[in-house]
Amino acid sequence: QVQLVESGGGLVQAGGALTLCCTASGRTFSNYFMGWFRKAPGKEREFVAGISWIHRTYYQDDTKGRFTISRDNAKNTVYLQMNSLKPEDTAVYYCAAASSLYVGTVFNGNLYNYWGQGTQVTVSS
C-alpha cells in the first residue's frame, strides 16, 4: 500500500501564504494521481487541487489562480502552494493518491485509494 504524510499547515493571516507538503512511500510515486482535499467543520469534504502522472493540474473554481499544485517524483513529494488565503480556506487539508482515476473524476474523493492524516490550516481575518 501507499502511506501519505502531510506537513506545512499552520496559522496565517488573511492574504498570507502557506505551502503544504505530502510525502509518499510504499509504491512508485510517479504511478499515482495525487490530489488535495479539505474538510472544514460543518462542511462537506471538497476537492482543492490535483495533479496527474504527466503533471497536468486541476483546480476548483475558488482555488484556481490562488493555489498551485506541483510534484517532485524524485522526492516522492507533492506540494500545494497557497497564496491570498481567505478565512474560508480554514480547514483540515488532506493529501490523497489514486492508482486508477478516469478522466473527469478527479474531483470525487471516493475514488482515491489512499489518504494522509491531514494538516490543519487556519486563516485569521
Q: What is the pLDDT of residue 4?
A: 95
**Do 14 and 86 form a contact (C-beta atoms < 8 A)?**
yes
Q: What is the pLDDT of residue 49?
A: 97
| Cα–Cα distance measured from residue 22 to residue 72, given in angstroms and rounded to the nearest whole number | 10
| Cα–Cα distance measured from residue 108 to residue 13, given in angstroms and rounded to the nearest whole number | 30
Give the three-class secondary structure for 83: coil
Q: What is the pLDDT of residue 69?
A: 97
As to burial, measured by CB atoms within 10 angstroms (0-12 exposed, 13-18 middle, 19+ buried), residue 103 is exposed
* pLDDT tens-digit profile, the chain (125 residues): 889 999 999 999 999 999 999 999 877 777 899 999 999 999 999 999 999 988 899 999 988 899 999 999 889 999 999 999 999 999 999 999 998 877 789 999 999 999 999 999 999 99
| Cα–Cα distance measured from residue 15 to residue 10, given in angstroms and rounded to the nearest whole number | 14
DSSP 68: E
Residues 84-99: tens digit of each pLDDT:
999 999 999 999 999 8
